[in-house]
């Protein structure tokens, strides 16, 4: 299992920003929260984003978030 991101100090936060985490737009965006950062017995969805043209994993950690994402993308 991956250890996930550990942002325990301000220096860790600055290093993450320097690495481009939480910064960017579209395909270049790297989210703060990833699926492997959260302990869960639930589902994760891997879908292709039609607006960002990349796979979306980290935001869809449950069936509820997947349903909301799907309804927003089909409008």
pLDDT tens digits, 31-47: 777 766 666 666 666 77
Gap between the Cα atoms of 16 and 69, Å rounded: 26
pLDDT category at 65 given cuts 50, 70, 90 is confident
Gap between the Cα atoms of 56 and 38, Å rounded: 16
pLDDT category at 1 given cuts 50, 70, 90 is very low
CATH among 3.30.930.10, 3.90.79.10, 3.40.50.450, 3.40.1350.10 for 10-73:
3.40.1350.10
Stronger pLDDT, 52 or 12, i.e. the higher one: 12
Gap between the Cα atoms of 32 and 29, Å rounded: 10
Domain limits, the chain? 10-73
Looking only at Cα atoms, what is the longest distance across the chain?
A: 41
Judge whether 56 and 48 are in contact, CB under 8 Å: yes
**Which regions of 1-75 does DSSP assign to beta strands (E)?**
47-48, 55-56
* Whole-number pLDDT of residue 41: 67
């Amino acid at each position: 299992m991956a250890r996930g991101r550990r942002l325990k100090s301000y220096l860790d936060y600055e290093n993450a920003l320097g690495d481009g985490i939480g910064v960017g737009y579209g395909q270049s965006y790297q989210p703060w929260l990833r699926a492997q950062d959260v302990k869960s017995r639930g589902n994760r969805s891997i879908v292709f984003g039609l607006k960002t043209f990349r796979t979306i994993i980290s935001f869809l950690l449950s069936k509820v978030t997947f349903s909301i994402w799907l309804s927003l993308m089909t409008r």
